[in-house]
């Protein structure tokens, strides 16, 4: 991707804004090489004022202008958007979809002719450039197109490449995962309040504990079980707390939550 590569975002919601911010911050493209469309003039004004990018109201015009097209629309309206752009999309462009649960085949069939396609499953921490995105390419996708998609999403966090058959599993883990962690943080805060801490103090302790713990797993490369054992002294406080978590089924419940979310993702994609 060069600074002259033109990228059109069809849909100007939070994920589109995260990618715009990431691309500009990483200097991958100049603002005037980015264009967003949306049905909300207010939303377009926000992006134009905040990032100095181009905006428009017609998806068909945006497609004719762009080298890369990123479908940042909800699954419920993607067929309508694909109908608008199908005549303008060519095999010289790269199309990336972040529409959750929509298989590549559905997009390809709706467009009606072969185009380079990538399916992406980012998560919400992309808004602060700390997300993780899974990518799957269409059959026969050129490596240069996959590398371009990786570079775009690396501007908002880490990227993994998986077979499309694993996308529902990705949705269950990293796509829905932030909600599980928010719930855990909320419970830690309430637990701190329960044992007498002021809520603002419990908030700081819980948030930094989760952040620091995640960074230790990432930066040390150690298995979480190894790091857990290092803070678990014989007969100490940590083992007492861990025993209660095991009795409450925390581990099994988290596994089941991922399984349930993945199952729901499969249902939505059919």
Clarify whether residues 131 and 15 are in a common domain.
yes
Are 17 and 23 in contact by the 8 Å Cβ rule? The answer is: no
Range of the domain at 219: 175-268
Burial environment of residue 240 by CB neighbours within 10 A (0 to 12, 13 to 18, 19 or more): exposed
Query: Residue 164: its pLDDT value, please?
Result: 95
Neighbours of 91 (CB within 10 A): 9
Bridge partners of residue 119, in order along the sequence: 97, 136
Choose among 136, 135, 152, 151: nearest CA to 19: 152
Whether residue 190 sits in one domain with residue 145: no
Is residue 210 located within the same domain as residue 253? yes
Tell me, yes or no, whether 190 and 135 share the same domain. Answer: no
- Per-residue confidence at 40, pLDDT binned at 50, 70, 90? very high
Which of residues 149, 166, 183 is at a domain's end? 166
Supply the pLDDT for residue 1. Answer: 65
Judge if 18 and 92 occupy the same domain.
yes
At 34, the pLDDT band (50, 70, 90 cuts) reads very high
Residue 201 lies inside a defined structural domain of this protein: yes
Whether 47 is covered by a domain: the verdict is yes
Q: For residue 233, is it within any domain?
A: yes
Kind of pairing between the strands at 157-161 and 7-10: unpaired
More confident: 112 or 219 = 219
Q: Is 76 helix (H, G, I), strand (E, B) or coil?
A: helix
CATH of the domain at 261: 1.10.3730.10
109 and 183 assigned to the same domain: no
Chain segment 43-78, per-residue pLDDT in tens:
999 999 999 999 998 999 999 999 999 999 988 899
Identify how many contiguous H helices and E strands the chain contains and give both numbers. Answer: 12, 8
Q: What is the pLDDT of residues 125-159, one digit of tens each?
A: 999 999 999 999 998 899 999 999 999 999 999 99
In a domain, 2, yes or no: no
DSSP string, 7-54: EEEES-SHHHHHHHHHHHHTTSS-GGGEEEE-S-HHHHHHHHHHH--E
Distance of alpha carbon 86 from the chain centroid = 25
Asked whether residue 61 falls in the same domain as residue 145, the answer is yes
Q: What is the tens place of the pLDDT at every residue in 8-23? A: 999 999 999 999 999 9
Top pLDDT among 17 and 2 is at 17
**CATH at 161:** 3.40.50.720
Q: What is the pLDDT of residue 201?
A: 98
Please tell me the distance from the alpha carbon of residue 11 to that of residue 19, in angstroms, as a whole number. Answer: 12
120 and 204 assigned to the same domain? no
Q: Determine the pLDDT at residue 80.
A: 93
Q: Once rounded to an integer, what is the mean pLDDT over residues 194-213?
A: 98
268 band by pLDDT with thresholds 50, 70 and 90: confident
Where would I find the H helices in 157-236?
Answer: 167-170, 177-194, 199-220, 224-230
Considering the domain architecture, whether residues 160 and 181 belong to the same structural domain is answered as: no
Whether 1 is in a domain gets the answer no
| Structure tokens, 33 | 């090489």
Q: Are strands 117-121 and 54-56 parallel, antiparallel or unpaired?
A: unpaired
Look at residues 137, 166, 195 and tell me which one is the last residue of a structural domain: 166
Same domain, residue pair 141 and 231: no
My answer on whether 127 and 257 are in the same domain is: no
Last-in-domain residue among 166, 188, 220: 166
CB atoms within 10 A of CB 253: 11
- pLDDT digits 0-9 by tens, 157-190: 999 999 999 999 999 999 999 999 999 999 999 9
The CA distance from 16 to 255, in Å, is 30
Separation CA 263–CA 74 (nearest Å)? 19
Total domains in the chain come to 2
pLDDT of residue 64: 95
Percent of the chain's residues with pLDDT above 70 = 99
Q: How many CA atoms lie within 13 A of 126 on its CB side?
A: 29
Return the pLDDT at 267: 85
Q: What is the mean pLDDT of the chain?
A: 95
Least confident of 8-22, 102-116, 117-131, 203-217: 102-116
């Amino acid at each position: 991707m060069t600074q002259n590569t033109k990228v059109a975002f069809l849909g100007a919601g939070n994920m589109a804004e995260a990618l715009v911010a990431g691309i500009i911050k990483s200097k991958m493209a100049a603002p005037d090489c980015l264009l967003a469309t949306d049905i909300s003039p207010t939303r377009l004004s926000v992006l134009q004022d905040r990032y100095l990018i181009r905006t428009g109201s017609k998806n068909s015009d945006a497609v004719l202008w762009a080298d890369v097209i990123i479908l940042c629309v909800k699954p419920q309206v993607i067929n309508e958007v694909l109908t608008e752009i199908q005549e303008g999309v060519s095999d010289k462009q790269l199309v990336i979809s972040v529409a959750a649960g929509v298989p590549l085949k559905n997009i390809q069939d709706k467009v009606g002719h072969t185009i380079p396609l990538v399916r992406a499953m980012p998560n919400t921490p992309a808004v602060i450039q700390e997300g993780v995105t899974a990518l799957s390419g269409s059959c026969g996708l050129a490596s240069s197109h996959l590398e371009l998609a990786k570079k775009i999403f690396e501007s908002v966090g880490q990227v993994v490449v998986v077979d499309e058959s694993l996308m529902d599993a990705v949705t269950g883990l990293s796509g829905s995962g932030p909600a599980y962690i928010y719930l855990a943080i909320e419970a830690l805060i309430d637990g701190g309040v329960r044992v007498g801490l002021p809520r603002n103090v419990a908030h700081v302790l819980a948030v930094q504990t989760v952040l620091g713990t995640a960074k230790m797993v990432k930066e040390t490369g150690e298995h979480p079980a190894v790091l857990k054992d290092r803070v678990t002294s014989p007969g100490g406080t940590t083992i007492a707390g861990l025993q209660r978590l095991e009795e409450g089924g925390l581990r099994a419940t988290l596994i089941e939550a991922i399984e349930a979310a993945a199952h729901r993702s499969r249902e939505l994609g059919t």
